Amino acid sequence: MDKIVYLSLNFFSSLFPLLFSFNPKSKYFFDFKKLLPSVLIVGLLFILHDIYFTKLGVWGFNNNYLIGYNIVNLPIEEWLFFICIPFASLFIHSTKETLHPTWVLSKEKSKIISIILLIILLSVSLSNVDRIYTFHSFGAAALITIIALIYRPDVLQSFLVSYLFIIIPFLIINGILTGSFIVDQVVWYNNLENLGFRIGTIPIEDFFYGFTLLLSPILLSEKI
């Protein structure tokens, strides 16, 4: 059973959104059809980044929790991650948009929060150039925040609220991947390449890695 842990996480994280995708109140299936090209483009970029970081030893995978099939030295489960997790996470965003369209920040609050976030992201990234995961995760989140602030501040008004809800399942899924609730880690991290600060077992960088992974296709979908 251990061999299917990562595969099962991908499957069950997608199952609930998939079952409710055709709900007339949600209409997520139709929203995701619009998002899918952007999710695939962003996912491909992240996979290339993932392959490179795996080669450098920034992180790696525990074969005890994998079915053993790799593509370009990356477990098939990791490839699926970049489809299943955006699908599940953006379901939360889409559902909030549909059922609770007023759950957004005001323009002023969104701008203030985004600028404060941007200052923190840039400060941490530029002061940790020697820690590749910290530099890249905080730096990429800063870049996507700048793009959103300039071109689609309205998306930030909504997404910043959505991300608070997305973090809840994120803590469970990433928690398991990094060793919570199970004997060992599915994904291990080289602490020389990150800050070494974790929330539970999850490196703080993962929260901003996920932020970029999810906000990017929303912004890109508006241009496709």
Query: Does residue 111 register a pLDDT over 70?
Result: yes
pLDDT for 26 equals: 66
Q: State the greatest distance between any 2 C-alpha atoms of the chain, in Å, as a whole number.
A: 50
Across the range 23-40, mean pLDDT stands at 78
Two tokens at 51? 């392959």
Encoded amino acid at 17, one letter = P
Task: Yes or no: say if 2 and 74 are a contact pair by the CB < 8 Å rule.
Answer: no
pLDDT for 223 equals: 65
For residue 196, name the pLDDT band (cuts at 50, 70, 90).
very high
Q: In which domain, by residue range, is 74 found?
A: 2-221
Lowest mean pLDDT among 52-56, 86-90, 126-130: 86-90
Residue 61's H or E segment, with its range, is strand 59-61
pLDDT for 224 equals: 45
How many domains would you assign to the chain? 1
pLDDT tens profile 128-168: 999 999 999 999 999 999 999 999 999 999 999 999 999 99
pLDDT for 33 equals: 78
**What is the rounded distance in angstroms from the CA atom of residue 139 to the CA atom of residue 118?**
9
Model-level pTM? 0.94
